[in-house]
Structure 1
Amino acid sequence: MWASKRPGPPAGGHQKKLIIKGLRSVPTLPATYKADTLARLQSAVQAIQTSQSTAQGFEELYRDCESLCLHKFGSDIYAMLQGELDRHAQQQLQSINAQPVDSSTDTAVLEQIQKFWTAYIQQLGMIKCVFLYLDRTYVLQTANTASLWSMGLSAVRRFLIDTDMKSRLIRLIIGEITKERNGKAVDRAMLLSLVNMFVELGLYLPFFMPSFIEATHEYYQRESRRLVGSLVPTTVTPRAQTGSSSGPMDVPQYLVHVKRRLDEESQRASNYLGDGCKTSLLSTAQAELVEKHTDRLLSFSFDAMADAHMLADLANLFMLLDAVNRLDALKKHWASYIKKTGLRLVQAPELNVTLVTELLALKQRLDIILSKSFRNNASLMYTLSESFGEFINTRRNKPAQLVAKFIDQCLRSGSKISTDDDLDKLLDRVLVLFRFIQGKDIFEAYYKRDMAKRLLYNKSVSVDAERMMLQRLKTECGAGFTKQLEGMYRDMEISDDITAKFVDLQQAQPTEDIGFHAKVLTLASWPTYEPLGLVVPRQVEQAQDSFFQFYGSKHKGRNLQWQHGLGTCILTVNFDEGPKDLALTVVQGTVMLQFTQNDELTYTQIRNNTGLEDIELQRILQSLACGKHRVLTKEPKGRDIAITDKFVFNAQFKSPLVRIKISQILVKEDDKEDKDVEEHVQQDRMLNIDAALIRIMKARKTAEHSALMTDLVNQLKFSTSSAEVKERLDILIERDYMKRDESDQAVYHYVA
C-alpha cells in the first residue's frame, strides 16, 4: 500500500488523502487453459501440414503462443512442434521411400520428393510465422535449442540419414545427370530443387558431393578410354565437327568434344549443381579427358595439326593442357616439331636456292601458331627461339652464307620487291634468322663480298636501303661488326669527290672523248682481289696515268693498283641498224675495242693483244659471241671456245633496245669464291682460338682441360669442334706458349 500527497487546499480548507489497497485474491488461469491452448495450436499445425484452413486466424494463434510463453509454457510448445514436425516428415518420406526400387519409378520418386520438399518448406515458413514469438524468446533464451527452422530441417535430415534414403536420392539424382550427359532431356528445375534440399539439410558437402564427383570420374574415365582408344589419324583437311561421340574421332574432333563436355559441365554447375562444385567437377573431367591422355594426344596428332596449320584446334589443345598444367608435354613436342621440320629444310642441299625463303615461311608460320594458338606463352616462345637456333646451326656455315646471299638479292637493283615498305619488312624478318646464326663471321665475309659488288657495279636498289641494313647490323652486332662495311661506304663517297675534281681538271685540259670514273678502295676494308694483268686500250691507259698523277699530287706515299676485273664501261658501237650503247665490264669492253681496226680476229690475236689468261678470255668471248646478245660471231659455230676459233664483228646485230647489257658467263666462279671466303674465315677463326686460349691461360696460369674449354666457348663468337681446339692447343704447346702438366696431361700451364 502506498499514498501520494498533493498540494493542500487553500488556507483554511481540509487536506484529502488517496489510498490504494491490495487485491484480496490473486487471479488464476483456468485449469484447462494450457491443454486447450496447446490443442488449438497443435490442430493448427496439423491443418497447415495438410494444407487445410485453420479454425482460428494466424493472429489469434500468434496471441495464444505468446500467452503460453508469457506463462512459462514455452518448452511445452517447442516439444509439441518437434513432435509434429518429426511425425509429418517421417510419415511423408516413409510413404515415398516405400515405393519399389525400379528404374521405371525413379523419376516419380524424385518428383514426389521435390513436391514434398517444396510443400514442406512453405509449411515450415507458415509455422515459423505463427510461432515467431516462441522463436524470438524461448529459443533464444534457452541454451542448445535449435531455431524452429533448423528443427524442421533436422526432422527431414534425421529420417534421410537413419533410413539411408539419402543414398537412394543421391543415386537417382546422379542417374538423371548421367541421362543428361548422354543427351537426354531432364527436368532441371526439379534437380535444382533437390540439390538445394541437400544444401539446406547440410547433406551436400559430406554426402552428395563426394558421390557425384566419383560418378563423374567413372563416367569420363570410361568415355575417354573408349574415344582415345579409337582415335583415327588426323587428316590435313579436318572432318566436319559434328559434336557426336558415337563414332571414331581424330584428335581435333576429340578436343572439340572435350571442350563441349567442359562447357556442359560448367553450365550444369551454374544451372542446378551450384558453383561450389564447379572447380572440383571441371578438374575431375579435365583429369580424365585430357591429363591422363596428354602424351597420346600429342604424339598422335601434334605434328599433323601443326603441318596443317590448324590454329583453332591447336588453340583448343593449348587451352586444355594449360588447364591441367601439362604445358611441359606441349613444350617437348613443340620443340621436337620445330627441330624435325627445320632439319628437313636445312639438311636438304637441293633446297639451297630457296632455303632462306623456306625458313622465313616456317618462322612466320610458327610465329602465327605461337600468337594465335598459344597466346604468346613465354615458355613456348623461348622454346621456339632455342629450337630454331639449334637446327639452323647443324649445317655449320651454309645458313650464314645463304642468308647473306638472300639479303644481296633483296638489295640488288631489279629486285622483285615492289615498295620500300615491303623491303624493310622483309629485311626485318631476315634479321630474325640472322640472330639464330652462330657463324656471324661467315655471314660478314659473304655480306662484305656481295656488298662490294653492289657498290662497285652500281647494283644497289637504293643508298637508303643499304644504309638501313648497315644500321640494323650495327644495332644487332655492334660497331665492330660493321666497321669495315662502313669503311667501304666512305671509300665510295670519297671516290665520288675525287673523281668529280679529276673530271673538272680534265675538262680544263681537253683530251680524247672518253668518260673516266675511278673508285679508290682502301685495301683493309674491301675483299682481296687478284689483278688480271689486262692490257687496256691506249685511251684508257692515258686516262689511268692522268688519274694516277692527279691522285699522287693530292696524296703522297700511297700505292694504287688497278683492278680492271671490277670495272664497268659503256661503249657506243655502230651497227648497220644504228648505234647501240653496250653496258659491259672493262674486260669485255677491252675485247670489243680490239675490233675497232679489224672486223675479224683470231683467238690467239685477241689473247696476245689483251694479255688475258685462257680461262678468263674464253669466258669473255663466250658472253660476247655465244650469249643472248651476240655482238660477235664465232667460226666455227658452237658454244665452246677453242684456240683455233675466229671471231668477227657482227655488224648486222639487231635489237629493239638502245642500251644493251651483256652479262658475263659465270663458269663456277661462285664456287671458287665461296671456297676462298670460307678458307679465309677459317684462318681467322684459328687465330681467334689461339688468341682466346692465350688470354685465358695468361689469366689463369694453370687450367684443367674442361675448364679451359668452358672459358673458350664463352669467349668465342662462333662454334668450334673439340678437334679444332686440340689442334690449336698442340700448336701453342709446340710454340712454347703453354705446356702440359707432367703428372696430369689434362692440365695446362701458361709459359710466361
Structure 2
Amino acid sequence: MWATKRSGSATGGGPQKKLVIKGLRSVPALPATYKQDTLGRLQSAVRAIQTSQPTSQGLEELYRDCESLCLHKFGSEIYEMLQAELESYTRGQLSEINSQAADSTTNRTVLGQAQIFWTGYIQQLDMIRCVFLYLDRTYVLQTANILSLWAMGLNTVKRYLVETDMKSRLIRLVIGEVSKERDRKEIDRTAVSALVNMFIELGLYVPFFMPGFIESTREYYQRESRRMVRGLVPVMVSDHMQIDEPLSGTMDVPRYLSHVNNRLEQESERIDSYLYADSKTVLLATVRMEMVEKHADRLLSSSFDAMADADMLTDLSNLYTLLAAVNRLDSLKKVWSSYIKKTGLRLVQAPDLDVSLVTELLTLKQRLDDILRESFQNNTMLVNALREAFGEFINTRRNMPAQLIARFIDQRMRAGSKSASMEDDLDELLDRVLVLFRFIQGKDMFEAYYKRDLAKRLLYNKSASIDTERSMLQKLRSECGAGFTNRLEGMYRDMEVSEDLATSFAEARASKGQDAISFHPSVLTLAFWPTYDQIQLVVPKQVDDAQEEFAEFYNAKHQGRNLQWQHNLGTCLLKVAFDEGVKELQLSIVQGTIMILFTEEDELDYMRIQQMTGLEDIELKRALQSLACGKYRVLTKDPKSRDVASSDRFSFNSQFKCPLVRVRISQIAVKEDDKDDRGVEEHVHQDRMVSIDAALIRIMKARRTLEHSALVTELMGQLRFNTSTSEVKERLETMIEREYILRDDNNHMLYHYIA
C-alpha cells in the first residue's frame, strides 16, 4: 500500500514529504474457474467468427480477456486452443469441398467453393488476429520455434492441402481454367484469381503451381504452333489485319506472327490480371520458345524473301522483334544476307539491265535501308551483313559495276540532264551513288572511267554545274584520299589556266586586229588527262593560222614545252546562210572543216573531200554520215542511203529547215564506245600489273624468303583491287625471269628475294 505524510509546504521552505512503500499483507488469488471460463469465452468467440455469427462479448472485452490470461502466464493455453480451432475448422471445410466428385460438372463448383472458403478464411483470420493481438505481440514473440498467428493460420491450410494432395487438384483446376480461356471460353476470373492468391500466400505458387502451369503452357502452345506451322501458306500480299479466329482457315507467316503477338499480349494481360507478376518472364519465354524459336528456320526459309520483296515493314518488324527475343538473330542474318545476294545477283548478272543497273541498285539499297531502319532497328549485325552481301554480289562482274557507276554519274552531271536543274537533289543522289561506290573493289577502274567522262564534260562544256563537279571531287577525295583525285584535280587546274591563257590570247589578237575568227584553245597536261589518238586533219587556213599564232604566244610564255593539237577533241560554231535564214551550227572540228569546204564548191565527191581534209575513212565516214544522214541534214548525199560509200557525192543543202537558230549536230558513234572502253580497261590492266609487281617486290624485300600461299595472302591485303591467282602467278614468273625473285631448288612453293 502507499502512504504519504505531509509535514510542511515544499514551496514554503518546510520539510520535504516522504514516500513510504509497504508490501501487501497477502497475494490476491484468482477464482478457481477463471482460466477455463476465460478460455471458454475466447473459444466461443473464435467459433462465432468462423461461422460468421455475432460474439457474446465485444471485441474489446475479448481483447482484455486475452491480455489478462497472457499476464497470468496462460499464453500457451490460448495458442494451443487457437491452433486446434483453426485446424478443426480448416479440415472440416476443405474436406467437404474435396469430397466432391472430380468431373466437369463439379469442377466449377469446387473452384467456387474453394474461392469462398479462402476469401472468408482470410477475413476470419484477420479478425481473430485482432482479438488475440496481445498474444501475438507478447507470448509468440517471446517463445522460440512457434509461428505467428497469421502464419499459423496459413500453415494450417497449407498442411491440409499438401497432406491430402488437394493442392494438386486445385492446381489442375486452375490450369484447366486458363487453358479454357486460351481457347476463347468464358471462365470465372475472380475464382481463379483468388486461388492463385491462395497459392502465393501459402508458398505453393513457385514450387508446385508454377512448374505445372509452365509445362501446361508449353504443351498447349506446342500443339497450337505445330498445327499452324504445318498449315502455313505462301505470303499473301494484302493488308494483314489482326484476325479474331486464327485457328480457322489458312494462315501465312505474317498472320502467324501477328497471332503470336496476340498470344503474348493475352498472356501478359493474364499475368497482370490474376497471375503472379514474377512468373511473367518465364511464361512469355515459354510461349516464344514454342511458337517462334522452334520454328524460326521454317518461318524464315518459307517467307522471308516474299516479305522483303513486298516491303512488308510491319511484319518484318514483328519477325525481328520475336527472333531477337529468342536470340535467333543469327538465323535472320543468314537469310537476310542470302536474300541480298540473290536479289543483287539477279540485277548484276542480267546484261539487259546494264542501262538501268545503277538505278536498280540504288532502289534496292534504299529498300534494304528502309527495312533496316523501320523493321530491324538498325541492328549492327544486320547492317554489317548488308555491307558484306552487297560488296560480294556487286563485284561478281569484275569491272562492269565501276564502269556503270561512272557512266551514271556522267549522265547526271551533264548539262541538259533532267536532274541537273535540281542541285540539291543531284547532290543527294551523288551521296547515294557514293554508297555503291564504296562496295566496288575496282576503284582504279572507276577512276579511269570517271576521268574519261569528266574530260569530255570539261572540254565540251557539258557540266550541269561546276560547283557540283567540285563537290563530287571533294567527296571522292574524302572517300579515297588525295592520291586518288590528284589527276582529276589537275584537270580542273588545266581548265582554269587554259581559260586565262585563252583570254590573254584573245586580247593579244584583238590588239593586232587579228580576230577574224574566235579561237579558244585549251592546254592540257598529258599526265592528267586520258590518252587520245591523234587524227590527221588538214584544218582550214584560218584555223591553221590561229594555231600558229597561239603556239608562238604560248612558247613566249613557256620555254621548252611541246604543243600537240588534238583536233578530235575540239568543237566549233559556224554561221551558215540557208534559204530559211542564218543558222549557227555547233559542230566538231572535223565536221566544221568539212562544212567549210562547201563555201567554195557546192558539190564534192567523197574522194575529193578525203583528199582535201586528209582524214582516214572511218573518221570521214562518221562525219559525213552525221552531216548528211542524221537528224539535221545540212548536206545532201547522192545516192540517198543511210550509209556513206566512197563513191557518194555530197552537196550543200540550202533548203535545210529547223525552228532552232543554234543547231547542234552530234557525231555519229560507230562502236567507238566499245573501243574506248577496251582502251580504258587495257590501260587500267597495265597499271594493275605494275601495282602487283611493285607489291611483290615490296613484300619480298621485307620478308626475304616467303612461301607461296603466305605471299599471295599478303599481296591481296595490300592491293586496292581484285586480282586472280592466275594473274599473280603470271607476275611471279615475270619477276623470276627478271631475276628479282628466285624459286627454291628443293621447294618450288618457296621464294627468295635476290635483287
- Which TM-score bucket, shorter chain as reference? over 0.9
Which residue in the other structure is 2:393 paired with?
A: 391
Task: Give the superposition deviation at 1:601.
Answer: 0.8
Asked if 1:540 is matched to 2:569, the reply is no
Which residue in the other structure is 1:12 paired with?
A: none
Q: Is the 8 A contact 1:237 1:308 kept in 2?
A: no
Distance (Å, rounded) in 1 between the aligned partners of 2:306 and 2:351: 25
Where does 1:679-694 land on structure 2 (aligned, <5 Å)? 679-694=682-697
The secondary structure found in structure 2 opposite 1:748 is strand
Q: Is the 8 A contact 1:413 1:460 kept in 2?
A: yes
Q: CA RMSD in A?
A: 1.6
Q: Is the 8 A contact 1:512 1:539 kept in 2?
A: no
- Superposed CA deviations along residues 120-173 of structure 1, whole A, max 9, x for unmatched, are 111111111111111111101110111111111111111111111111110110
Task: Give the superposition deviation at 1:234.
Answer: 1.1
The secondary structure found in structure 2 opposite 1:293 is helix
Q: Which amino acid aligns with 1:46?
A: R
Which residue in the other structure is 2:177 paired with?
A: 176
Asked if 1:304 is matched to 2:302, the reply is no
The more displaced of 243-252 and 395-404 is 243-252
Which residue in the other structure is 1:424 paired with?
A: 427
Distance (Å, rounded) in 2 between the aligned partners of 1:17 and 1:436: 108
Match of 1:273 among 272, 275, 278: 275
Task: Give the superposition deviation at 1:94.
Answer: 0.9
- Superposed CA deviations along residues 657-694 of structure 1, whole A, max 9, x for unmatched, are 10011111111010000001101110111111111101
Task: Give the superposition deviation at 1:511.
Answer: 2.8
Q: Which amino acid aligns with 1:541?
A: D
Where does 1:222-621 land on structure 2 (aligned, <5 Å)? 222-237=223-238, 240-246=241-247, 247-417=249-419, 418-511=421-514, 513-621=516-624
Instruction: Give the 3 Å change call, closer, same or farther, for CA 235–8 of structure 1 in structure 2.
Output: closer
The secondary structure found in structure 2 opposite 1:210 is helix
- Superposed CA deviations along residues 285-320 of structure 1, whole A, max 9, x for unmatched, are 110000011111100111111111110000000000
Distance (Å, rounded) in 1 between the aligned partners of 2:485 and 2:60: 100
The secondary structure found in structure 2 opposite 1:404 is helix
Instruction: Give the 3 Å change call, closer, same or farther, for CA 626–18 of structure 1 in structure 2.
Output: closer
Which residue in the other structure is 1:208 paired with?
A: 209
Instruction: Give the 3 Å change call, closer, same or farther, for CA 507–19 of structure 1 in structure 2.
Output: closer
Instruction: Give the 3 Å change call, closer, same or farther, for CA 598–38 of structure 1 in structure 2.
Output: same
Q: Is the 8 A contact 2:509 2:515 kept in 1?
A: no
Distance (Å, rounded) in 1 between the aligned partners of 2:719 and 2:274: 66
Where does 1:24-43 land on structure 2 (aligned, <5 Å)? 24-43=25-44
Q: Which amino acid aligns with 1:186?
A: I
Task: Give the superposition deviation at 1:33.
Answer: 1.0
- Superposed CA deviations along residues 482-514 of structure 1, whole A, max 9, x for unmatched, are 111111110100001011011001111113621
Instruction: Give the 3 Å change call, closer, same or farther, for CA 167–597 of structure 1 in structure 2.
Output: same
Q: Is the 8 A contact 1:360 1:429 kept in 2?
A: yes
Q: Is the 8 A contact 1:238 1:252 kept in 2?
A: no
Q: Which amino acid aligns with 1:532?
A: I
Q: Is the 8 A contact 2:580 2:656 kept in 1?
A: yes
Instruction: Give the 3 Å change call, closer, same or farther, for CA 162–680 of structure 1 in structure 2.
Output: same
Distance (Å, rounded) in 1 between the aligned partners of 2:555 and 2:111: 111
Distance (Å, rounded) in 2 between the aligned partners of 1:295 and 1:238: 24
Distance (Å, rounded) in 1 between the aligned partners of 2:18 and 2:195: 74
Distance (Å, rounded) in 2 between the aligned partners of 1:24 and 1:737: 129
Distance (Å, rounded) in 2 between the aligned partners of 1:461 and 1:257: 54
- Superposed CA deviations along residues 577-616 of structure 1, whole A, max 9, x for unmatched, are 1000001111110111110011111111111111111111
TM-score, normalized by length of structure 2? 0.97
- Superposed CA deviations along residues 156-194 of structure 1, whole A, max 9, x for unmatched, are 111111111111110110111111111122222322211
Task: Give the superposition deviation at 1:3.
Answer: 9.0
Q: Which amino acid aligns with 1:496?
A: E
Distance (Å, rounded) in 2 between the aligned partners of 1:541 and 1:21: 150
- Superposed CA deviations along residues 12-65 of structure 1, whole A, max 9, x for unmatched, are xxxx99998755543211111111111111111100100010111101111111
Q: Which amino acid aligns with 2:333?
A: K
The secondary structure found in structure 1 opposite 2:651 is strand
Where does 1:36-75 land on structure 2 (aligned, <5 Å)? 36-75=37-76
Q: Which amino acid aligns with 1:545?
A: E
Which residue in the other structure is 2:670 paired with?
A: 667
Q: Is the 8 A contact 1:295 1:329 kept in 2?
A: yes
The secondary structure found in structure 2 opposite 1:353 is helix
Distance (Å, rounded) in 1 between the aligned partners of 2:660 and 2:512: 34
Task: Give the superposition deviation at 1:338.
Answer: 0.6
Asked if 1:726 is matched to 2:729, the reply is yes
Q: Which amino acid aligns with 1:718?
A: F
The secondary structure found in structure 1 opposite 2:706 is strand
Which residue in the other structure is 1:653 paired with?
A: 656
Task: Give the superposition deviation at 1:7.
Answer: 5.0
Q: Is the 8 A contact 2:442 2:722 kept in 1?
A: yes
Instruction: Give the 3 Å change call, closer, same or farther, for CA 622–732 of structure 1 in structure 2.
Output: same
Instruction: Give the 3 Å change call, closer, same or farther, for CA 63–540 of structure 1 in structure 2.
Output: same
Distance (Å, rounded) in 1 between the aligned partners of 2:153 and 2:237: 64
Q: Which amino acid aligns with 1:107?
A: R
Distance (Å, rounded) in 2 between the aligned partners of 1:400 and 1:712: 22
Where does 1:695-734 land on structure 2 (aligned, <5 Å)? 695-734=698-737
Distance (Å, rounded) in 2 between the aligned partners of 1:65 and 1:264: 50
Distance (Å, rounded) in 2 between the aligned partners of 1:22 and 1:241: 88
Distance (Å, rounded) in 1 between the aligned partners of 2:748 and 2:593: 63
Q: Is the 8 A contact 2:49 2:55 kept in 1?
A: yes
Task: Give the superposition deviation at 1:5.
Answer: 7.6
Distance (Å, rounded) in 2 between the aligned partners of 1:236 and 1:645: 63
- Superposed CA deviations along residues 618-640 of structure 1, whole A, max 9, x for unmatched, are 11111111111111111111101
The more displaced of 134-143 and 18-27 is 18-27
The secondary structure found in structure 1 opposite 2:31 is coil
Which residue in the other structure is 1:13 paired with?
A: none
Distance (Å, rounded) in 1 between the aligned partners of 2:746 and 2:703: 19
Which residue in the other structure is 1:191 paired with?
A: 192
Q: Is the 8 A contact 1:577 1:652 kept in 2?
A: yes
Q: Which amino acid aligns with 1:257?
A: H
Task: Give the superposition deviation at 1:415.
Answer: 1.0
The secondary structure found in structure 2 opposite 1:352 is helix
Q: Is the 8 A contact 1:318 1:373 kept in 2?
A: yes
Number of matched residues?
Answer: 746
Q: Is the 8 A contact 1:692 1:715 kept in 2?
A: yes
Q: Is the 8 A contact 1:235 1:304 kept in 2?
A: no
Which residue in the other structure is 2:13 paired with?
A: none
Q: Which amino acid aligns with 2:98?
A: N
The secondary structure found in structure 2 opposite 1:234 is coil
The secondary structure found in structure 1 opposite 2:637 is strand
Which residue in the other structure is 2:642 paired with?
A: 639
Distance (Å, rounded) in 2 between the aligned partners of 1:181 and 1:20: 79
The secondary structure found in structure 1 opposite 2:355 is coil
Q: Which amino acid aligns with 2:540?
A: P
The secondary structure found in structure 2 opposite 1:354 is helix
- Superposed CA deviations along residues 528-576 of structure 1, whole A, max 9, x for unmatched, are 1111110001111111111111111111111111100000010000000
Q: Is the 8 A contact 1:244 1:257 kept in 2?
A: no
The secondary structure found in structure 1 opposite 2:752 is strand
